[in-house]
Amino acid sequence: MHFIIIGGDAAGMSAAMQIVRNSTGHSITVLEKGGNYSYGQCGLPYVIGGKIESTNKVIARTQKEFQEKYGIDARVFHEVKSIDATQKVVTGVNHSTGETFDLAYDRLLIATGASPVVPNWEGKTLQGIFTLKTIPDTEEILDYLYKGYRDIKDVTIIGGGYIGIEMAENFVELGKNVTIIDRNEQLAGIFDRELADLVHDEAMKQNIKLRLGETVEGFIGESFVEYVKTDKGEIKTDLVLIAVGVKPNTEFSKEAGIVTGVKGAIQVNSCMQTNVKDIFAAGDCATQFHRIKERDDYIPLGTHANKQGQIAGLNMVNLHKTFKGVVGTSVMKFFDLTLGRTGLSEKEAEGLNIPVASVAIQARDIAGYYPDAKKMTVKLVYHKETHKLLGGQIIGERGVDKRIDVLSTSLFHSMTIEELVDLDLAYAPPYNGVWDPIQQAARRVK
């Protein structure tokens, strides 16, 4: 059997490795439109900030390794333009030679990821305006910072989601004056307002200017960007990063008769199959089943891309395995704070007309009497009538990640607030209080 995989990063290569490890006598061709394989996009903000010394460090496996060690026909600069699902052929362009190619498949995986959204703002092609998604994007930003085109002092970030927030920290670390513009009234929109206010406080402590509830209209400059124009004025700037979200790369799917769903992502079942026979999809270009919402959703994250890719690969070689869905867990760093969340926020639950209640407390990450205990804010969101846990948000300096993972595990197993209190969690003074902060919060619920 001949497998073709479109896209050579997290989802695509997770699938390829499962095919290699779990079958014999098959051949795999990977068509990647860029020049890199298997790299951690999640590390790119820290390459720009200088914590990670170069983009080479985030590459897990190279094209050569896939070719020589695993026998995969891994190609670069091969962009797929269309799929003929009847003839089972993909067509595209080899950008190294300018030639077109047609390749036949028995089974196909679409793992094309997502692309940053850039609204049709006037002046968006001026130099000094960037998005961050790939290694070339990172290199371009580094060149602009260090190759002396301009003296970069003022950086404007449009969008206060996780990429915007992580990049704000990294630009501050580089000594830049940072402004974040968001059309919403808060940063970190996946958190409820009272938790997001902790992020606002930290941003202000770090001298980041926040322009919330402000809408970008365009950019002003000769050849380089000089001002961001908003509905409230003009902001002087030397560099702009647009981080207002991503959209799935599914342009050629419709033509091939592949059904798309939430936010235009390819609709997949739990085996990562699309509606078209022998075509699978996984990662940022596909939907994910949300266990709490009990419906498909679109939450493009590396964790899901790796899992979905692995499951696609197994099913492509007839080894049945299903994707069990997501609960909406994520964690990010913002200076000394860790921001963790899982499940539904209160406003999300309200939007879904779920009878919702919540409890929020402040607690210490370790025994209060032990040196260097840190404060954290914990919010639990639960069903008003059944007390079933719906979500959790934690922000603090230390120990946030482990509590969020306990909450995410509890959500995965549909636990109630009362069952959280019963959990046998680890305790010794340097690691926790006798009642873990999430249990302290759960105990407040009557």
Residue for token pair 């419709």: 254
The two structure tokens encoding residue 112: 């094309």
Active site residue 271: no
Given 3, 9, 290, 313, the residue binding ligand FAD (CB under 6 A): 9
Tell me whether residue 44 or residue 373 sits nearer to ligand FAD (CB atom): 44
Q: Does 363 bind ligand FAD (CB under 6 A)?
A: no
- From the list 25-33, 195-203, 213-221, 254-262, the region that binds ligand FAD by CB under 6 A is 25-33
Given 19, 111, 256, 281, the residue binding ligand FAD (CB under 6 A): 111
Contact set for ligand FAD, span 114-143 (CB under 6 A): 114, 132-133
Tell me whether residue 243 or residue 381 sits nearer to ligand FAD (CB atom): 243
Site string for ligand FAD, 302-331 (x = CB under 6 A): xx-x--------------------------
In this structure, the strands spanning 107-110 and 2-6 are parallel
Largest CA distance in the chain: 70
Given 3, 12, 55, 279, the residue binding ligand FAD (CB under 6 A): 12
Q: How far is the CB of 346 from ligand FAD (least distance, A)?
A: 23
User: Count of residues for the chain?
Assistant: 446
Q: Does 340 bind ligand FAD (CB under 6 A)?
A: no
The two structure tokens encoding residue 152: 């970069």
Tell me the C-alpha to C-alpha distance, in Å, between residue 262 and each of 10, 265, 369. 21, 6, 49
CA geometry: angle 43, 57, 398, nearest 5 deg: 40
Q: Does 284 bind ligand FAD (CB under 6 A)?
A: yes
Contact set for ligand FAD, span 29-88 (CB under 6 A): 31-34, 41-42, 44-45, 79-80
- From the list 67-75, 111-119, 356-364, 424-432, the region that binds ligand FAD by CB under 6 A is 111-119
256-278 burial, b at 16+ Cβ within 10 Å, e below that, comes to bebebbbbbbbbbeeebbbebeb
- From the candidates 42, 89, 212, 445, which is the catalytic residue? 42
Q: Rounded to whole angstroms, how far apart are CA atoms 353 and 159?
A: 27
16 CB contacts (<8 Å, ≥6 apart)? 3, 5, 28, 30, 66, 70, 72, 74, 313
Residues 271, 311 contacting (CB under 8 angstroms): yes
Tell me whether residue 364 or residue 402 sits nearer to ligand FAD (CB atom): 402
Q: Does 389 bind ligand FAD (CB under 6 A)?
A: no
The two structure tokens encoding residue 394: 């934690």
Size of the site for ligand FAD (CB under 6 A): 32
The two structure tokens encoding residue 72: 């995969």
Ramachandran bin of 97, using left for φ above 0, alpha for ψ from -120 to 50, beta for the remaining angles: alpha
Single-letter residue type at 422: D
Given 128, 159, 300, 343, the residue binding ligand FAD (CB under 6 A): 300
Contact set for ligand FAD, span 396-435 (CB under 6 A): none
Rg for the chain, CA atoms, rounded? 23
Q: Which residues bind ligand FAD (CB under 6 A)?
A: 6-12, 31-34, 41-42, 44-45, 79-80, 111-114, 132-133, 163, 249, 283-284, 300-303, 305
Known catalytic residues are 42
